Amino acid sequence: MIEIPRSEMSFAESDAPADVVRRQYLASARGDLAALRATLAEDVEWTEMAGFPLGGTYRTPKGVTGGVMERLAADWEDWTAHDDSYVVAGENVVVLARYTAVNRATRRPLDVRVAHHFTVRGGRIVRFEQFVDTALVREAMTHTP
C-alpha cells in the first residue's frame, strides 16, 4: 500500500489505477463528461452513499454521468471534488477528498470531507463507492442562510 499526496503525484497517461482515477477527477473538474465516461468500464458500478441526495448504484458510463454528474450540476453551483491524497493497493485506489459547492435552492455553501474507493481493471474504473457525511450535505440543501 502506498499513500501519495496529490501534490506529489506525477501524473501520466497510463492505465495505472491512480492515473485512471486522476483523469476521472480532472475530467469532472472540467465538466468534460465524454472524457469522464472514457475512464469508466461499460459495466461500471458507481455507488453514491445511502442518505446522499443521489444515493444508489448507477451502471454504465452514461448512467453515471446522467444520473450523478448532470444532476449535481443542476442542484449545485461550482460542485468540485478536490482530490487531496491517494492510497493505492493494487487495483484499489482510495482518495481522501473534499466536496465544495453552493446549493442553488438554499444558497448555502458546502465544504465536506469525503473518501472515494475506486477499483480499476484494464485501465477503466469498474467500481466506485462514496463515503460522506450526508447530514452536512442535507443541511446545505434544506436550510436557508
The answer to whether position 2 is within a domain reads: no
> What digits encode the pLDDT tens for the residues 16-65?
999 999 999 999 999 999 999 999 999 999 999 999 999 999 999 999 99
The answer to whether position 73 is within a domain reads: yes
- Quote the percentage of the chain above a pLDDT of 90: 88
Q: Report how many domains make up the chain.
A: 1
CB atoms closer than 10 angstroms to residue 29: 14
* CATH number, domain with residue 86: 3.10.450.50
The answer to whether position 4 is within a domain reads: no
The answer to whether position 58 is within a domain reads: yes
The answer to whether position 70 is within a domain reads: yes
Whole-structure pTM value: 0.89
The answer to whether position 40 is within a domain reads: yes
How far apart (Å, rounded) are the C-alpha atoms in residues 70 and 60?
A: 14
- Provide the pLDDT for residue 101: 97
Q: Which domain holds residue 70?
A: 12-142
The answer to whether position 7 is within a domain reads: no
- Provide the pLDDT for residue 13: 76
The answer to whether position 112 is within a domain reads: yes
